[in-house]
Amino acid sequence: MAIILGRPRRLAVVVILSVVIFAIFRFSYTDGFALAGHLSESIQIVDECSPGALKAIDNPRPIHDPAISNIVHQLWKTTDVQEYSTEITASRESWRSMLEPSNYTVKLWTDDDVLELIKADYTWLLSTYEGYSHDIQRADIARLLVVHSEGGIYSDLDVYPSSAEHIQCLQRLGLQAIFSPTSGTLGLSNHFFMAQPGSPFLQWVLYEAKRRGSRLASRAIILPYLQVLWSTGPIMGCSTTGLVAWWYNMPLGGPGKEWTAER
């Protein structure tokens, strides 16, 4: 009898899991195949700065006045990054010891700092930022804002630098923005990225975050995880990439790729 009663429960669990998996697939990969080729081209460019490629660079020099600023931005609730984790050491000191000798600034933004920036320069985004129901949504937007405002590099506190030469190589590529891929080549991760100050791409992403924030209440997204992915996370960033490519009718490769603004 117990076995018979257990079957419907197991069936219900299987059905629920199937729905969740389908929802994740649907939200994650709707435009994925259209973007895969473009993101693959970008990955090939970033591969120019792989450890093997760096060996061919003789006497790399510090970059002065780069398009992507010599600033590393990190976020935490307060100035005490020791509260970040009891299992790992926050990467702030690693970034400082490696890059400050090469004329970089490593800057920590607190929640209060980000809110002050929004009130000063991004008032149109304030209601959206304050209206998020999850702290991770505000953190997702905050990292975009600080890099859009000042340019430079964003790094999560659990991301550690490999070498100053690697960072400088990425800056020398001449790209407006560089993101890490996620889900193969079908998405953009935001745990580490870099961009020019006032990057048009980041501006588009912020506009898209505003648009999606106004639609959150009407979207039937039950799971908080999917709400975050859709509203501020990798799904939102990936969709914006496709929108920018369509609007400007441009490839998303790198140097040597012509950007045309026909609309």
Tokens 């400007």, residue? 248
Rg, the chain, Cα only: 20
Place of tokens 């129901």: 133
Instruction: Identify which of 164, 163, 222, 155 has the alpha carbon closest to the alpha carbon of residue 193.
Output: 155
User: What was the pLDDT predicted at 66?
Assistant: 78
Counting beta carbons within 10 angstroms of the beta carbon of residue 171, is it exposed (0 to 12), middle (13 to 18) or buried (19 or more)? buried
Cα separation, 164 vs 131, in Å, equals 38
pLDDT in tens, 46-67: 667 877 777 655 555 566 667 8
Joined together, the tokens standing for residue 181 give 């891929």
Does residue 259 contact residue 248 with C-beta atoms inside 8 Å? yes
Q: Which residue has the higher pLDDT, 161 or 204?
A: 161
- Residue 114 above 60 pLDDT? yes
Q: Please indicate whether residue 190 or residue 247 has the higher confidence score (pLDDT).
A: 190
> Would you tell me how many other CB atoms lie within 10 Å of the CB of residue 22?
10
- Report the distance separating Cα 244 and Cα 232, nearest Å: 17
CA-to-CA separations, 252 to 45, 73, 190, 222, 226, in angstroms, rounded: 11, 25, 18, 33, 26
d(CA 136, CA 134): 5
Average predicted confidence (pLDDT) for the chain: 72
Give the tens place of pLDDT for each residue, 184-231: 555 677 889 999 999 988 888 898 888 876 655 445 545 455 555 555
Q: Rounded CA gap, 75 and 112, in Å?
A: 11
The pLDDT value given to residue 64? 64
Q: Does pLDDT of 69 surpass 70?
A: yes
